[in-house]
């Protein structure tokens, strides 16, 4: 009886495992469900090679063991066409199937791709989907129940995400609210995430909703997903970002439409305002406990958000007086911010006129036609005007007068025409 006790305890382990939630295998979002089906399909297809190989290893080891005198040995055997077909044909077929399904799924599950349906049976009105043969094949494996039984009128909920150290900031531009470490969205409504980071490369991951997407400073990534079941789910950073990494998690609430409206009103009731001053105070390391371990920041609500907050975070210009990156790139596109920018622009255009793509890009983004790329002395005035087309028109000044630098250039400075005087503008 004593010998049976450890064995009986071991048999109870599977019963304990039934209480575990295999989120990646059984997710709650439509995108995550397709990703789960793709993983399961890929594993099963690869097992078509692995299982026979493992079986044959054991079979031949047993059949041709030294003690088995009945095993036949053909010393003249050196080649078999049938065996070659099986050895090479089966893996090649499996690789072809995996390649086709994976390639098609890469397009269908692209996080930047707007959703065309909220689940297998429901399409979004006005969203057309044209799939070729390969993508149609892939859809049969990752979404076998796909049909067009219902059509729903809906618009995506836009959420702006910023990864801080070590917390998550969520801004709802449509609702005019913001939260820290708490996220909510209506069930069966598409969500469009715009994701960035304030300092280092990070990773935004809600296993029940979709796959992870990187968050990088001064860059914006996107994620389109939808949740099909109400509940409370955990999200976290899937990329190591320092000693506070383990505390960088948040909770995602999938609510009914009425429940989401109530949650929004709850957040709006907060008297806190997310402005630049509050953000700079928020963008600090989490506090440490008495043992020196980084503590979980907790949940915080902001009833209102300063206009353009996410744009400032994305372009690294929350600090007062800092130039936004898109402003700096606009100046670079114009060749610079001063009189000498004309020569910079002419040299840049001289190089770019050698490529057709550069000419098309100029025509699309700057309004310059390919024929305008020929640089002559007569075109200097026209070139200068076009180079500064993003900036306010320059006013004529006397040689000794000073002029404020146009908006969008070197902010907070006054530069004289001859460059001899540089002083901050008070």
426 residues of the chain, pLDDT tens digit each: 555 566 666 666 666 656 566 777 778 899 999 999 999 999 999 999 899 899 999 998 888 887 877 767 777 888 888 888 988 998 899 999 999 999 999 999 999 999 999 998 899 988 888 888 888 889 889 988 888 888 999 999 999 999 998 899 999 999 999 999 999 999 999 999 999 999 889 999 999 999 999 999 999 999 999 999 999 999 999 988 888 888 899 999 999 999 999 999 999 999 999 999 999 999 888 777 667 778 888 999 999 999 999 999 999 999 888 888 888 887 777 666 666 666 666 666 555 555 555 556 656 655 555 555 555 545 545 555 554 554 444 444 444 443 344 444 444 443 333 444 334 433
Q: What is the pLDDT at residue 408? A: 43
Domain boundaries, the chain: 30-61+82-152, 157-314, 325-424
Which candidate, 303, 315, 234, places its Cα nearest to that of 272?
303
Query: Both tokens of residue 225?
Result: 């997903």
Question: What is the number of residues in the chain?
Answer: 426
User: Using H for helix, E for strand and C for coil, what is the string for 187-226?
Assistant: CCCCEEEEEEECCCCEEEECCCCCCCEEECECCCEEEEEC
Task: Kindly report the CATH class assigned to 157-314.
Answer: mainly beta
Alpha carbon distance 280, 419 (integer Å): 34
Alpha carbon distance 247, 249 (integer Å): 6
Q: What is the pLDDT at residue 382? A: 56
Number of other CB atoms surrounding residue 127 within 10 Å: 13
Total-model pTM? 0.73
Query: Both tokens of residue 169?
Result: 């900031």
- Phi/psi-derived region of residue 34, left when phi > 0, alpha when psi is between -120 and 50, beta in every other case: alpha
Which candidate, 327, 370, 373, places its Cα nearest to that of 351?
373
Query: Both tokens of residue 96?
Result: 């072809």
């Amino acid at each position: 009886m004593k010998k049976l006790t450890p064995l009986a305890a071991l048999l109870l382990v599977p019963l304990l495992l039934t209480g575990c939630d295999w989120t990646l295998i059984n997710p709650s979002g439509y995108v995550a469900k397709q990703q789960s089906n793709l993983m399961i399909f890929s594993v099963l297809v690869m097992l078509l090679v692995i299982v026979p190989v493992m079986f044959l290893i054991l079979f031949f080891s047993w059949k041709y063991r030294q003690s088995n005198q009945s095993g036949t040995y053909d010393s003249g055997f050196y080649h078999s066409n049938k065996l070659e077909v099986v050895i090479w044909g089966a893996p090649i077929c499996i690789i072809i199937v995996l390649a086709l399904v994976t390639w098609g799924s890469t397009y269908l599950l692209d996080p930047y791709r707007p959703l065309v349906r909220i689940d297998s049976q429901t399409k979004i009105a006005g969203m057309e989907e044209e799939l070729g043969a390969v993508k149609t094949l892939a859809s049969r494996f990752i979404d076998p129940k796909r049909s067009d039984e219902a059509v729903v009128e809906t618009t995506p909920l836009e959420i702006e995400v910023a990864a801080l150290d070590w917390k998550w900031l969520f801004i709802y531009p449509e609702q005019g609210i913001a939260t820290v470490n708490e996220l909510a969205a209506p069930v069966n409504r598409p969500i469009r995430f715009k994701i960035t980071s304030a300092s280092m490369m990070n990773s935004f991951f809600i296993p029940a909703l979709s796959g992870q997407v990187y968050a990088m400073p001064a860059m914006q990534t996107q994620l389109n997903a939808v949740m099909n079941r109400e509940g409370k789910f955990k999200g976290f950073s899937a990329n190591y970002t320092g000693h506070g990494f383990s505390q960088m998690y948040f909770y995602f609430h999938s609510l009914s439409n009425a429940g989401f409206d109530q949650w929004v009103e709850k957040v709006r009731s907060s008297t806190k305002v997310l402005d630049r001053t509050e953000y700079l105070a928020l963008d600090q390391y989490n506090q440490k406990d008495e043992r020196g371990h980084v503590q979980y920041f907790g949940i915080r609500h902001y009833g209102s958000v300063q206009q353009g907050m996410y744009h400032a975070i994305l372009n690294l210009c929350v600090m007062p007086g800092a130039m936004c990156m898109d402003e700096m790139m606009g100046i670079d596109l114009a060749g610079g911010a001063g009189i000498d920018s004309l020569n910079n622009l002419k040299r840049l255009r001289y190089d770019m006129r050698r490529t057709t793509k550069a000419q098309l890009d100029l025509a699309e983004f700057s309004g310059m036609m390919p024929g305008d790329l020929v640089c002559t002395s007569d075109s200097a005035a026209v070139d200068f005007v076009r180079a500064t087309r993003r900036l306010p028109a320059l006013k004529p000044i006397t040689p000794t007068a000073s002029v404020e630098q146009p908006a969008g250039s070197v902010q907070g400075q006054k530069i004289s025409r001859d460059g001899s005087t540089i002083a901050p503008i008070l």
